[in-house]
Structure 1
Amino acid sequence: MPTDIPAVVVDRLPHYLRTLRLMLDDGIEVVSSRELGEALGTTPAQIRKDLSYFGRFGKQGRGYDVSALLGDLTRILGLERSWPVVLVGVGRLGRAIITYPGLTPEGFHVRAAFDADPGVVGSNVDSVPVRPASEMERFIRDEEIEIAILATPGDVAQDVIDRLVACGIRGILNYAPMTPHVPNGITVRTIDPVQALQTMTFYLRDSEDEEDLLPKRKRGRRNNSRR
Structure 2
Amino acid sequence: MTKGKILIAEDDNDINHLIYEVLTREGYTVTQAFSGTEAKLHWNNEAFDLLLCDLMLPGMTGEELIAEIIAKQSASIIVISAKNTIMDKVDLLKLGASDYITKPFDIEELLARVEVQLRKTTTEESVNESLSWQGLTLSTDRYNAQIDGQDIRLTAREFGILKLLISNPKKVFTKENIFSSVWGETEYIDENTVNVHMSNIRSKLNKAKPDRDYIETVWGIGFKMKN
TM-score, normalized by length of structure 2? 0.33
Which protein has the bigger helix share? 1
Which protein has the bigger strand share? 2
TM-score, normalized by length of structure 1? 0.33
